[in-house]
Structure 1
Amino acid sequence: MVMPSSDTPALAFDDFVIDFAGRRLLRGGQALALEPKAFSVLALLAQGPGQAFTRDEILDAVWGHRHVTPGVLNRIMTLLRHALGEEAQAPRYLHTLHGVGYRFDLPAPHLPGASAEASVEERRHAAERRTSMSPTVPATTSRRGWWPRAALVLVLVVALLGTGVWFKRQVWVARPAPPSPAGAVATPTLIVMPLKPIGGRADGDIAAGLSDELISALARIQGLRVIARESTSLATVQPAEVATLVSRLGISHTLEGSLRQSGEQLRIHLRLNDARNGRTLWTQDYDRNANDVLALQREVAQAVATALTLKLGLAKVPAQKGGDAGFLRRYFAAQALLRTPASAAGEAVERAETEFRQLVQLRPYDARAHAGLAVALDMRAFSRPPLAAGLRAEAAQEAALAQRLDPSLADPYRVQASAACRGNRWEDCVRLFEQAGAAAPSDSQPYFQYAMALAALGYLDRAEALMRHNIERDPLNPSWRFGHGRLLDTLGRHEQARAQLELGRPFAPYARWFNAVWRKDYAQAAAIADKLGDSVDSPAYERLYKPSYVAATGALRDPSLWPQVETELRASERETGLMNFLRVLAPEAPAHAPALIAGLDQVRERSYSSWDLLLWTRDLAYLRKDPAFQDYLRDNGLLAYWKRHGFPKQCRPHADGAACD
């Protein structure tokens, strides 16, 4: 990658400094946590302010011509914007050039006496004059012009001395780039409606499965925003929701269609509409044998992109045969079992595992069948702790086999990423989740798990930003509201968390209970505890834990009742074999911090929900003040990772460990 010369080892702007030599981004003198690839992208763009870089140029320069899907760069740009404190909709430094790539701009400098209404051309000439200044002031400088220039140099020198960065010759201040062209076209936003089966019930499975495949394929197109699968499914249950999404998210186009099956022949009819006026822009019929239906997704994606007049950026997905119609139907049905509501998840996952095993026997070289089996095994390990080791070992084998057969599939990366996180192999954890998200941009699961992995690493701000970003692309999915609310509570932003958790109802009432406790709204906490497990759809563990939540709510009002809570805590722990996390609220909890930290670490190693976030919760600072927390950071590799990639915002180096607020 081309880097600035040794004469310009750093770039200062606003309160940021890009330290190229030290590969650091500093703000106000503090180093920000930034992944190595993210810094490389920033350095590439910043070495030529105002210069447009295509996506291919960035990928080639930073990733070295290796096959990388476009979603990887999208995620890196999101992380950079978060680090620089800006949003994609209102960029100050990083500008998206739709259909081209990205450009880094420096803010126009403010000159004494300059009018706020100064033209772009005037600011450009002013920047040129500023760029040409020398750090030393010539003896012939007039009294009138000396002070502004000297003050500017002094401010830059002091700022850089404070960060430990010194320029060999002069401060590098590049001129701002020209503004974006007027009238730039907004990014097209597409919602893919589920294909309507025409014929017998059997067509429904293929129609639903192909709809998911189309969403996944279209989500890889550069310059096209596609509503994620979960929100699409929820929106299309009620037609009114689609209309709401059109206005709320600025949906510009809808893709609708139908599927008819006659024996082994499929006819797929697709229609692209302008969502704002209902006008049909493009229509097409496809007649294919069922063996070709999975390869059909790429052809359709390209046709839709052409109709939208977009530059194509599809990942190189190998054309593959999907098997006969019966095989496809069974595959899609097994996939659907893995998305069954929580109340029946255990039974459904076991059925999915059985089905995927049979599909693997039918077609030993079908990558998707092996990937599905890997996911099912990994999910079973979560619900069957005594069998977890064996199930996860087999899941790893199946994931590796699926990956060898087809490296473009997302599920194998996700299974491997989860294993890496549990094993404290954080470099692999981050890399594999990046690959999983890039391979399936429309799938919420890898992004959600990646955000939780960042939170487990202590990067709470980055995790929260990722949750917020995915709410925009998947607004009806309650899991994002739940995750966002949990992270906001962890950060101490309880009122904002309450709003998100309410939007995610009835998902995870225990999260709303803790939020009410943090806000000291014990009346609401009591109401939530009283209703735990009442619904027929409630998972069994809610009914199991209800007595402890009811008792804890009373004890928060009257601390003399905590002995009764202890009785309920022990009863639930005997049933589950896991610590009851209400213990963190007990009056004597600080004295038992080492045991609580160990219990929360056990939860993280099991990938058990979001309970390990309690370790980072602002309201539970006593956990991070205990010496056992330092052992946790060292033993689990967090401290070593931070030293390589930067400390989280709430932590800083201290002695041979870290001090975390």
Structure 2
Amino acid sequence: MTPSTPAPLAFGESAIDFAGRRLLRDGIEQPLEPKAFAVLALLAGTPGRVFTRDEILDAVWGHRNITPGVLNRVMTLLRHALGEDAQAARYLHTVHGVGYRFDLPAIAPGEPSQATQGSAPETPPVPRHAARQHASDRRSMPRALPWLLPLLAVLAFSGWLWWPHPAATPGPATERSIAVLPLVNAGNDAQQLYFSDGLSENLIDALSRFEGLKVIGRTSAFQFRDSKDDSATIGRKLGVSYLLTGSVQRAGDVVRINASLVRAADGSALWAEHYDRPYRNLFALQDEIAQAVAGALQVKLLSPEAATQPGDRPPGGSIEAYNAYLQGLKYWHDEDFPQAAGHMTQAVQLDPAYAVAWAHLSGAWSTVAAFSNEAPAVAREHMRQSRVAADNALRLAPGLGPAHAARAYLQFYGFDHRGALAECRRAVQLAPADGTVLNGCGYVLGGIGKLGEAIRLRERLLSIEPLYAVNHYQYAKLLAAAGRLDKATKYLRIAEGLSRPGSHPGSQQMYIAIARGDVETAREIARNQSAPWRDVYLAIAMQISPDRAAADAALAKALDDEGPAKTAPYAIAQAYALRGDADKTVDWLERAPAHDIFFMLVDPLILRLRDDPRLIAFCRKTGLPPPGESEALSIDQIRAAGSTRRL
């Protein structure tokens, strides 16, 4: 090491090895471009100092003849690698109008420093909010102290727990913000709807590559198909200033597109054009429309690299492959994954270099294998096909975010939590505005107990998909696991308002009532569930009742030979966890399907036994991380937090 090279720096869950030019997070190296690491090394080498943008450009690039968007992109990559965002920065701070500053976390007097100089640790220090008291430590404590443990865990967690988070509902529209409403299928041919929807989604993807332009995702924008709302109402609901509308008709070898860019506030047209082009020139036409819209909004590409990123088009230019891909995408969004896999297979047969189609093919087959009731041999074959597809996608396009996400899902379903964590972080780094990546990795990171990161991904997805009910619902579940029950209730209500009646069970509200110790509300919610879940939910809800005879009777009814226990073993495990019966909890967990076990480490009921050797052994045997490493709170810790706030 040269004298000018700083010693390794460890902070929070991260460590910087300056000599090795590596950033590690939770012991996993984060892939960074050389220029991105150089910026990080410059800022972190002198914590607290403000570097102007020109100083950074001179030091790292040697000149200033680059677009401002390049540095913006690098800072975004660094924040993703460090697990933070600009709205809740811990380390990388923007000094508006000047430049950037790297700060180390504040250390309380007498507390050992989190930033350590010396050799880079193989595994960075465990963050304070995830630290847990071991059972052996508890046995050595005076008898009057064990009741403090849940409270101490909550207080240690509170530094993250009460950190302000970005608003999740659409706020005032930013000046450069747009929603692409689904292009009208002007030919009225239902068989061509996938084509008009696919072109709409392509425009969303293309516009997302322009600097400073907020683009609403497909799920939220497509809710306004055939809407009678005026432009002002749509703009307000989506939080955007502009709407791109139009129609498309494919007639033989000709594509006819009408497109208009309007101001949402008053519906006035900013730009409009009509196109009649040969179908074989479709890709050039898509580019022409995106450039025209960007020109009208006066925005430019994020960086030169953005233009070369793999998109949704086949690299060989096969219109037939693209057509198969669009059909597969239609079934993907409909959650008909076997049909999606069939069309994606056709797309890659027509163009074997079609990386994004390989990525979707992998995701489709792994989802089918993990969540359907296939015979074991069939599921194994679909997992094999998924692995082949993911390998092909990454070989063809190592920088494709959805390909890394596809690999992450495979590793998650195979209980390789470290591999899944690294791949999801890479996927989000490469595709920070891809709704499918954010949603999928939100599930993965929550499932392996990385609650803080999972919540941040859900919040990012809220900003581009403000009307996506599933995301509101999953965000609420994570908030509840963090003990933020009031906010969780708020987002559950939003999800219910956005969903079709009955599309989300009321069980999550029941779990919040259990966390509050409100047996009457929990029981009432359980009674309103449909059969056969009613008896199972009653068995869970009644375990917090002071009437032990009623609790026993409710559980016995759920366990009856004619009851639903055989189809809901995980729910029975939750009931036994509330009773504190670790043996029977683990017994029922062993009967549960893998797709229930995937998300066990974000379940406050099961985490009530997080320090029990039997649950720890079950996680080890299954391949899950130790339950003590999960950042989610147990039901007891959530209650302790509520008691502390009331004091």
Residue 480 (structure 1) aligned to one of 471, 477, 484: 471
Structure 2 residue 293 is matched with structure 1 residue 283: no
**Map of 1:144-543 to 2, 5 A cutoff?**
162-163=113-114, 165=116, 188-201=176-189, 202-236=191-225, 238-240=227-229, 243-244=232-233, 246-247=235-236, 250-294=239-283, 296-313=285-302, 314-317=306-309, 320=314, 323-324=318-319, 331-340=325-334, 348-358=336-346, 366-367=354-355, 369-381=357-369, 382-385=371-374, 386=376, 387-405=378-396, 410-437=401-428, 441-505=432-496, 506-533=503-530, 543=531
Structure 2 residue 618 is matched with structure 1 residue 624: no
Compared with structure 1, are the counterparts of its residues 261 and 215 closer, same or farther at alpha carbon in structure 2 (3 Å cutoff)?
A: same
Contact (CA 8 Å) 1:272, 1:282: kept in 2 or not?
A: yes
Moved more, 378-387 or 294-303: 294-303
Contact (CA 8 Å) 1:265, 1:290: kept in 2 or not?
A: yes
Deviations 1:507-548 (Å, cap 9, x if unpaired)?
A: 243222222322334444344334434xxxxxxxxx443332
Distance 2:632 2:602 in 1: 16
**3-state secondary structure, aligned to 1:384:** coil
Gaps of 5+ in 2: 63-69, 119-172, 497-502, 635-647
Offset at residue 206 of structure 1 (A): 1.1
Structure 2 residue 101 is matched with structure 1 residue 104: yes
Contact (CA 8 Å) 1:69, 1:315: kept in 2 or not?
A: no
- Which residue does 1:87 correspond to in 2? 87
Contact (CA 8 Å) 1:579, 1:599: kept in 2 or not?
A: yes
Offset at residue 487 of structure 1 (A): 0.8
Moved more, 470-479 or 428-437: 428-437
Contact (CA 8 Å) 2:180, 2:245: kept in 1 or not?
A: yes
Moved more, 351-360 or 516-525: 351-360
- Which residue does 1:177 correspond to in 2? none
Offset at residue 204 of structure 1 (A): 2.6
Moved more, 327-336 or 385-394: 327-336
Compared with structure 1, are the counterparts of its residues 607 and 55 closer, same or farther at alpha carbon in structure 2 (3 Å cutoff)?
A: farther
Offset at residue 494 of structure 1 (A): 1.7
Contact (CA 8 Å) 2:462, 2:471: kept in 1 or not?
A: yes
Compared with structure 1, are the counterparts of its residues 448 and 11 closer, same or farther at alpha carbon in structure 2 (3 Å cutoff)?
A: closer
Offset at residue 408 of structure 1 (A): 6.2
Residue type of the alignment partner of 1:310: V
Offset at residue 556 of structure 1 (A): 4.6
**3-state secondary structure, aligned to 1:50:** strand
Residue type of the alignment partner of 1:565: L
Distance 1:598 1:270 in 2: 57
Distance 2:319 2:592 in 1: 44
Residue 580 (structure 2) aligned to one of 571, 590, 601: 590
Residue type of the alignment partner of 2:301: L
Contact (CA 8 Å) 2:50, 2:99: kept in 1 or not?
A: no
Contact (CA 8 Å) 1:597, 1:628: kept in 2 or not?
A: no
Distance 1:55 1:227 in 2: 32
Compared with structure 1, are the counterparts of its residues 32 and 421 closer, same or farther at alpha carbon in structure 2 (3 Å cutoff)?
A: closer
Residue type of the alignment partner of 2:76: N
- TM score, norm. by length of structure 2: 0.68
Distance 2:591 2:4 in 1: 46
Residue type of the alignment partner of 1:283: A
Offset at residue 485 of structure 1 (A): 0.9
Offset at residue 405 of structure 1 (A): 4.7
Q: CA RMSD in A?
A: 4.8
Residue type of the alignment partner of 1:626: D
Contact (CA 8 Å) 2:607, 2:627: kept in 1 or not?
A: no
Distance 2:18 2:205 in 1: 39
Deviations 1:402-455 (Å, cap 9, x if unpaired)?
A: 444555655433321111223344443234324444565554332122223223
Equivalent residue pairs, number: 540
Distance 1:241 1:527 in 2: 40
Offset at residue 162 of structure 1 (A): 4.7
Distance 2:339 2:317 in 1: 21
Residue type of the alignment partner of 1:273: V
Offset at residue 559 of structure 1 (A): 2.9
- Which residue does 1:50 correspond to in 2? 51
Offset at residue 383 of structure 1 (A): 0.9
Distance 1:608 1:295 in 2: 47
**3-state secondary structure, aligned to 1:625:** coil
Offset at residue 565 of structure 1 (A): 2.2
Distance 1:358 1:589 in 2: 52
Offset at residue 295 of structure 1 (A): 5.7
Compared with structure 1, are the counterparts of its residues 586 and 338 closer, same or farther at alpha carbon in structure 2 (3 Å cutoff)?
A: same
- Which residue does 1:117 correspond to in 2? none
Offset at residue 390 of structure 1 (A): 1.9
Offset at residue 476 of structure 1 (A): 0.7
Residue type of the alignment partner of 1:413: H
Distance 2:418 2:467 in 1: 32
Distance 1:496 1:551 in 2: 26
Contact (CA 8 Å) 1:451, 1:464: kept in 2 or not?
A: yes
**3-state secondary structure, aligned to 1:497:** helix
Residue type of the alignment partner of 2:194: D
Compared with structure 1, are the counterparts of its residues 639 and 524 closer, same or farther at alpha carbon in structure 2 (3 Å cutoff)?
A: closer
The percentage of aligned residue pairs carrying the same residue is 23
Residue type of the alignment partner of 1:303: A
Distance 2:269 2:291 in 1: 18
Compared with structure 1, are the counterparts of its residues 467 and 600 closer, same or farther at alpha carbon in structure 2 (3 Å cutoff)?
A: farther
Offset at residue 189 of structure 1 (A): 1.4
Contact (CA 8 Å) 2:179, 2:238: kept in 1 or not?
A: no
Compared with structure 1, are the counterparts of its residues 272 and 474 closer, same or farther at alpha carbon in structure 2 (3 Å cutoff)?
A: same
Compared with structure 1, are the counterparts of its residues 596 and 204 closer, same or farther at alpha carbon in structure 2 (3 Å cutoff)?
A: same
Deviations 1:334-381 (Å, cap 9, x if unpaired)?
A: 3222333xxxx5xx3334344444555566555555444333322221
**3-state secondary structure, aligned to 2:511:** helix
Distance 1:412 1:45 in 2: 31
Distance 1:501 1:458 in 2: 21
- Which residue does 2:158 correspond to in 1? none
Gaps of 5+ in 1: 24-30, 62-67, 108-154, 168-184, 534-542, 652-661
Give the greater-gyration-radius structure (CA). Answer: 1
**3-state secondary structure, aligned to 1:580:** helix
Offset at residue 208 of structure 1 (A): 0.6
Distance 1:247 1:232 in 2: 12
Residue type of the alignment partner of 1:215: I
Distance 2:14 2:342 in 1: 53
- TM score, norm. by length of structure 1: 0.67
**3-state secondary structure, aligned to 2:50:** coil
Offset at residue 220 of structure 1 (A): 2.6
Offset at residue 3 of structure 1 (A): 11
Residue type of the alignment partner of 1:623: L
Contact (CA 8 Å) 2:439, 2:471: kept in 1 or not?
A: yes
Offset at residue 649 of structure 1 (A): 9.2
- Which residue does 2:589 correspond to in 1? 599
Residue type of the alignment partner of 2:473: F
**3-state secondary structure, aligned to 1:223:** coil
